[in-house]
Amino acid sequence: QVQLVESGGGLVQAGGSLRLSCAASGTIFSISAMGWYRQGPGKQRELVATITSGGTTNYADSVKGRFTISRDNAKNTVSLQMNSLKPEDTAVYYCNAVAIRAIRYYGDLWGQGTQVTVSS
């Protein structure tokens, strides 16, 4: 059974920092790109950051310069360092991983979500 397990969410004041972590366990697939998405109150789910197995990163404009995504390919983990947090960063953050089976795209794996709340 394959699962993505997230940790690190919580309550923080504006200007503070949090680090989110996600680990893929029990995977029978190869993991390609990994990333973080978020969904705030009354908003659609949006991309925050992604990282390929080769280390190429992509960030939403709203988090560039503040967030940093990283991964450990050997452990199938991905992290998101969030600095200079703003109230508008408040959302449920979801870990994502692209699963590959038989050298073809199989599907996306998703974590259960972790709440990040930033107070003003």
Q: For the chain, give the mean pLDDT.
A: 94
Sheet holding 77-82, edge to edge: 3-7, 18-25, 77-82, 67-72
- Residue where the block lists tokens 């200079």: 84
Residues 5-29 have pLDDT tens digits of: 999 999 999 999 999 999 988 777 8
pLDDT of residue 75: 87
pLDDT of residue 1: 61
Contact 19, 80 (CB under 8 A): yes
Residues 6 or more apart from 118 whose CB is under 8 A from it? 11, 12, 13, 14, 16, 85, 86, 87, 88, 89, 90
Separation between Cα atoms, residue 108 and residue 32, nearest integer Å: 10
Residues 6 or more apart from 103 whose CB is under 8 A from it? none
- Residue where the block lists tokens 């089976």: 101
Burial class (CB in 10 A: 0-12, 13-18, 19+), 57: middle
Residues 50-108 have pLDDT tens digits of: 999 999 999 999 999 999 999 998 888 999 999 999 999 999 999 999 999 888 999 99
